[in-house]
């Protein structure tokens, strides 16, 4: 196993953090890469004179150079993204799961505490991507049958591999299809559904930061002309699939929540429509119950 002195790693860390700041990147990425490459956190770095590396030091340094020059997301470079208690596999073609999306699982947990019957039955993650939400649900609700759906074959392959890495008490069932087309057999049978659908208005796509615009899949981002196209499909059809009292919960972009609430109101079959904020205070989550 390769060994490098703590002083060298510390020196590299200071320089890489400086480069990150100069390039407008989050310097915490450096610590994350060190944790990945060296298997040590910054406290251990200070304490250890010699560090036994988890991976070749040259590899971590190369990845950091590519991060700076190509602006490729670090998660794609290392092939992993931390999300809740998991370290999920990611690769091009699959959206990198975001920390704010973790809140969906907390919201489900809060709802289950209020209404314990929600812990049973069938749950669906629409647009599962890396499988993050499906996996979060399946571990939170061991008695439920969780389904994860996506139209992307690459996403489903990665999601299934993540479920093998963190096997839930009850295996997730994966479905491929264009939204509801993939789960027609579940009509009237869902206890709850969650979704983080594509919601960026098409005209904004060219102005996204390079990491997202150049590397993340358009299919996961493009929400149509006004960003609400997927929400219309999810709101309109869900009452056919949700059992009475079933839970509807989705993530939206900051500023979209009132419009999504309006779609739910107009549909007419939902009650208890509420908006919830992310940790930064942005109103990002919309929750409703089928009447």
Ligand X SMILES: C[S@@+](CC[C@H](N)C(=O)[O-])C[C@H]1O[C@@H](n2cnc3c(N)ncnc32)[C@H](O)[C@@H]1O
Comparison of 53 and 216: residue with beta carbon closer to ligand X: 216
CA atoms in the 13 A half-sphere facing the CB of 211: 17
Of the candidate spans 1-9, 30-38, 42-50, 146-154, the one that interacts with ligand X by CB under 6 A turns out to be 146-154
SS3 154: helix
Residue 89 is a binding residue for ligand X (CB under 6 A): no
Residue 144 is a binding residue for ligand X (CB under 6 A): no
Quote the CA–CA distance of 136 and 146 in Å, as a whole number.
Answer: 10
Quote the CA–CA distance of 131 and 125 in Å, as a whole number.
Answer: 8
Residue 151 is a binding residue for ligand X (CB under 6 A): yes
Of the candidate spans 4-12, 23-31, 61-69, 124-132, the one that interacts with ligand X by CB under 6 A turns out to be 124-132
Residue 133 is a binding residue for ligand X (CB under 6 A): yes
At closest approach, how far in Å is the CB of 109 from ligand X? 17
Comparison of 197 and 227: residue with beta carbon closer to ligand X: 197
Other CB atoms within 10 Å distance of the CB of residue 83: 24
Backbone angles phi, psi at 258, to 5 degrees: -60, -40
Hey, what are 262's tokens?
């309006």
Hey, what are 169's tokens?
């008490």
Residue 162 is a binding residue for ligand X (CB under 6 A): no
Are 132 and 101 contacting, i.e. CB atoms less than 8 angstroms apart?
yes
Are 42 and 16 contacting, i.e. CB atoms less than 8 angstroms apart?
no
Comparison of 38 and 200: residue with beta carbon closer to ligand X: 200
Comparison of 42 and 232: residue with beta carbon closer to ligand X: 232
Residue 9 is a binding residue for ligand X (CB under 6 A): no
Quote the CA–CA distance of 56 and 179 in Å, as a whole number.
Answer: 43
Residue 197 is a binding residue for ligand X (CB under 6 A): yes
Comparison of 53 and 138: residue with beta carbon closer to ligand X: 138
Residue 129 is a binding residue for ligand X (CB under 6 A): yes
Quote the CA–CA distance of 66 and 55 in Å, as a whole number.
Answer: 17
Site size toward ligand X, by CB under 6 A: 20
Among 23, 178, 214, 265, binds ligand X (CB under 6 A): 178
Residue 220 is a binding residue for ligand X (CB under 6 A): yes
Comparison of 37 and 127: residue with beta carbon closer to ligand X: 127
Are 81 and 75 contacting, i.e. CB atoms less than 8 angstroms apart?
yes
Residue numbers 101-120 binding ligand X by CB under 6 A: 101
Are 244 and 273 contacting, i.e. CB atoms less than 8 angstroms apart?
no
Which residues fall within 8 angstroms of residue 266, CB to CB, at 6 or more apart? none
Binding site for ligand X (CB under 6 A): 95, 97, 101, 127-130, 132-133, 150-152, 155, 178-179, 196-198, 219-220
């Amino acid at each position: 196993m390769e060994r490098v002195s703590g002083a060298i790693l510390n020196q590299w860390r200071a320089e890489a953090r400086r480069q990150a700041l100069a390039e407008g990147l989050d310097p915490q990425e450096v610590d994350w890469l060190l944790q990945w490459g060296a298997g040590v956190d910054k406290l251990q770095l200070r304490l250890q004179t010699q560090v036994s590396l988890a991976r070749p030091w040259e590899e971590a340094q190369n990845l950091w150079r590519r991060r700076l020059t190509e602006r490729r997301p670090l998660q794609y470079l290392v092939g992993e993204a931390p999300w809740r208690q998991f370290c999920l596999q990611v690769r091009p073609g699959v959206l990198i799961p975001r920390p704010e999306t973790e809140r969906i699982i907390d919201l489900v947990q809060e709802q289950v505490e209020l209404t314990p019957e929600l812990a049973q039955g069938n749950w669906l993650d629409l647009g599962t991507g890396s499988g993050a939400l499906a996996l979060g649900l399946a571990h939170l609700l061991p008695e439920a049958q969780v389904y994860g759906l996506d139209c992307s074959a690459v996403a489903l392959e990665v999601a299934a591999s993540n479920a093998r890495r963190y096997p839930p008490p009850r295996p997730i069932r994966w479905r491929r299809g264009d939204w509801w087309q993939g789960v027609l057999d579940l009509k009237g049978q869902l206890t709850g559904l969650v979704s983080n659908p594509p919601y960026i208005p098409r005209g904004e796509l060219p102005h996204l930061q390079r990491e997202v615009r150049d590397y993340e899949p358009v299919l996961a981002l493009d929400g149509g002309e006004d960003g609400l196209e997927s929400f219309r499909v999810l709101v309109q059809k869900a009452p056919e699939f949700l059992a009475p009292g079933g839970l509807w919960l989705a993530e939206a972009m900051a500023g979209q929540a009132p419009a999504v609430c309006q779609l739910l109101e107009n549909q007419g079959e939902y009650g208890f429509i509420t908006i919830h904020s992310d940790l930064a205070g942005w109103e990002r989550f919309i929750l409703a119950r089928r009447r």
